[in-house]
Amino acid sequence: MNTKILWSVVLSMVFLLAFTFIGYAGESAHYKLPSSNASIVVPAEMPKFLEPKLLTNRHGIKRGITEGFIIRQSSIRDGKIVIPPAGLIYFTFGGEYFSNLNGEPFVVAGKEAIWVEKQEAVLVKQNFTVPLNKPPLPLGEEGTIAIAHTYFNDRYMGVRRADFKYVFANGYTTWGLSTLISSGGYARSRSAVAYGNLQGEGMIIPPPYQFYGDPFDASSSYYIAVDSVTPQGIKVSEAGAAEIVWFKISYEKPIIADDVTEGQILPVGKYRAKVSSIDSKLGTVGIALLDSGGNTIAEKTLGPLTLKTYEVKNRIEHDMATRLSMALDYENIRIQLNTKFDPVWGPGPTKLMNEAGDFIPLPQVDEVSTFHGGKVDLVMYEDIQKMELRKPWKEDSRFVFQTAYI
């Protein structure tokens, strides 16, 4: 019987960036955890590195920043400690989960940075089998999220049951699932998504909204369509998982340009930004980027940014199309509207900053404070750096970037 079951799992998550060391020979430690009896270094023993830090975003809101390191699957050979490929991990997470527009704090190898943007995607693999009790099977290249089949049972009233988990490259797993198949039909989770499977496989950019519980958040969900469960493994017609393709940061603090008027020209890096138009009612600003000779090399209308933009909760920070509409990007330059909001992860509306600098619930706000008196508030970055995942880190090519949600 070829019964198809489709599941959608929505996770609460923390963005975890890991620098994975890939320089030594031997079997890769990808998808493996440290030993259960591994030694633990407590923050008090390395306070400058391991103690959590509090850094503020552009609006003065404090975010916790954590760094750490993991050595896994190491061994002693000829009196030396041998660390396998992907066995040494530096990890960090901070304010990047809250927004890509509010200048959230971040740390890369001890160096303070500002989170600017990320490219989300969904990674899809079709028509494959996940063997029982074998190493996790990546959906894409080595280091992408993988699936492990951990349990099989066919002794309960003729029902075949299989447990499987999505596994990140750092060895941590997402929530496990149980797939049930019986002769009486099929079952599916309450949060199952529609059967609109994707055309083709690979890294899908941008991700299709229909697969996610939050339609504007590609990085919170996973799905699987199972054809059948056998003692040898799970036969999968299609599985998809959230991935990050790249992210952008800046080690330099941005230029905060408040009360900018129409026609005003602002220096930014080796260029100049001209504000060609301001429409406070529509929430739009025309920007022209000029070279040293005064020639226009890039131009864009930023926005719209109005109260309506914030009505769909979490949209402005999770929908990449909305985020990009707020900014002009050129080389390592970014000019964006100074968004002034604080996302709320739980009940209640998004909070917006008023003219007095206080954050108040959206229903109590009369207008977006980015625009006022025919003027506009802008933010400009002059030295943005793009980091591609699963690619060598330019400051030390022995390390690559990975992400995980744990």
In the DSSP assignment, the letter for residue 47 is H
What are 4's two structure tokens? 């198809």
Contact 282, 306 (CB under 8 A): yes
> Tens digit of pLDDT for each residue in 331-381?
999 999 999 998 877 778 889 999 899 999 999 999 999 999 999 999 999
Q: How many residues in total does the chain contain?
A: 406
For residue 50, which amino acid is it? L
What per-residue confidence (pLDDT) applies to 396? 86
Contact 106, 92 (CB under 8 A): yes
The C-alpha atoms of residue 73 and residue 84 are separated, in whole angstroms, by 7
What per-residue confidence (pLDDT) applies to 36? 84
Sign of the dihedral defined by the CA atoms of residues 280, 284, 353, 384, in that order: negative
- pLDDT exceeds cutoff 50 at 259: yes
The C-alpha atoms of residue 328 and residue 30 are separated, in whole angstroms, by 38
Contact 261, 276 (CB under 8 A): no
Distances (CA, A) of 113 to 65, 219, 319, 324, 382: 11, 22, 23, 20, 13
Sign of the dihedral defined by the CA atoms of residues 359, 363, 365, 370, in that order: positive
What per-residue confidence (pLDDT) applies to 221? 65
Q: How confident is the model at residue 183 (pLDDT cuts 50, 70, 90)?
A: very low
Q: By CB neighbour count within 10 A (0-12 exposed, 13-18 middle, 19+ buried), where does 54 fall?
A: exposed
Contact 145, 125 (CB under 8 A): no
For residue 86, which amino acid is it? A
Name, of 178-192, 204-218, 270-284, the range with top average pLDDT.
270-284
Task: Give the HSE-up count for residue 66: Cα atoms under 13 Å, Cβ half-sphere.
Answer: 11
Give domain limits for the chain.
Answer: 1-252+384-406, 254-382
Residue 81: CB atoms within 10 A of its CB come to 9
What per-residue confidence (pLDDT) applies to 50? 84
- For the CA atoms of 310, 311, 314, 319, the dihedral, rounded to the nearest 10 degrees, stands at -70
Residue 267: CB atoms within 10 A of its CB come to 11
Distances (CA, A) of 90 to 18, 101, 107, 144: 5, 26, 11, 17
Supply the mean pLDDT for the chain.
82
The C-alpha atoms of residue 94 and residue 253 are separated, in whole angstroms, by 17
Contact 351, 363 (CB under 8 A): no
Least confident of 195-204, 345-354, 390-399: 195-204
